[in-house]
Amino acid sequence: MIFIRSVIFAGWLYLMLGLSGLLCLPQTIASGGKSMAGGRMWARTTLFGLRWIVGARVVFKGMEHVPSGAAIIAGKHQSMLETIVPFIMFDRPAFVLKAELLEAPVLGWYAKALGMIPVEREAHASALKKLLRAARPARDEGRQIVIFPEGTRQEPGVSGDYKPGVAAIYRDLGVPCVPMALDTGRIWSAKGILRRPGVATIELLPPIPPGLSREEFMHTLEERVETRSQELLLATPGP
């Protein structure tokens, strides 16, 4: 039954991606790429489908830490879900995403129109320079820059290597960084289509102020995100 529901939900997820994209495209064009209506519609329909098809839901905590202006949101990465729900958590999120996703139909069109921030897989100096050049306009517009320092999804309880891009952005942009802990792996597999009933939590933690050294920042970020994510994973899911 879980597999059948997962297949149905996968169909729902991508159907809603296409419909959200097409229905909200005129508003996106009219706003000059500033409207997040398509992303918000997809996020809400995703949560709706999770609840009514899969029997899973998401609890949001720490929303008092949502920044009012430019900031970095650096999160744990266990599933595709946390790349969708920031559209309803923040005003105008700008995602740091793999450059090849810009070529994907619908998703890529919107990513370009909304000023998302592409990053190349290689962590060499030229890639970091391109990343910073793309991130500065988002900072100047007061947007929240969403980045997953591990670079790829990890199984629950596993800590991946934190890549240097997040430290480079933090140092260059001079804005606070809000850590984001989660246990979405409870309900959404890192790989494959399996989705399971249950309750997952996404929690924003107190911001890290700008100005720390690279070493102190990376240690603080990883310690906060990993510690709290593990606590969420081991705890009984919230009501």
Q: 181-212 pLDDT, tens per residue?
A: 999 999 999 999 999 999 999 999 999 999 99
* Dihedral sign (CA 151, 224, 64, 132): negative
Burial class from Cβ neighbours inside 10 Å (0-12, 13-18, 19+) for residue 62 reads middle
SS3 (DSSP) at 137: helix
Conformation bin of residue 88: beta by default, left when phi > 0, alpha when psi is -120 to 50: alpha
User: What is the band of 113 on the pLDDT scale with cuts at 50, 70, 90?
Assistant: confident
More confident: 106 or 165:
165
Domain boundary assignment for the chain:
58-234
Q: Amino acid letter at 217?
A: F
How many angstroms separate the CA atoms of 117 and 136, rounded? 10
Beta strand ranges found along the chain (DSSP E): 56-61, 71-75, 93-98, 117-119, 144-147, 177-182, 198-204
* Chain centroid to CA 197: 21
Q: 29-76 pLDDT, tens per residue?
A: 788 778 889 899 999 999 999 999 999 999 999 999 999 999 999 999
Q: 172-181 pLDDT, tens per residue?
A: 999 999 999 9
User: What is the band of 153 on the pLDDT scale with cuts at 50, 70, 90?
Assistant: very high
pTM of the model: 0.93
- CA proximity to 201, closest of 79, 66, 93, 37: 79
User: What is the band of 237 on the pLDDT scale with cuts at 50, 70, 90?
Assistant: low
- Please state which CATH class domain 58-234 belongs to: alpha beta
Specify the pairing of strand 177-182 against strand 198-204: antiparallel
Largest CA distance in the chain: 51
**Residue 161 contacts residue 149 (beta carbons within 8 Å):** no
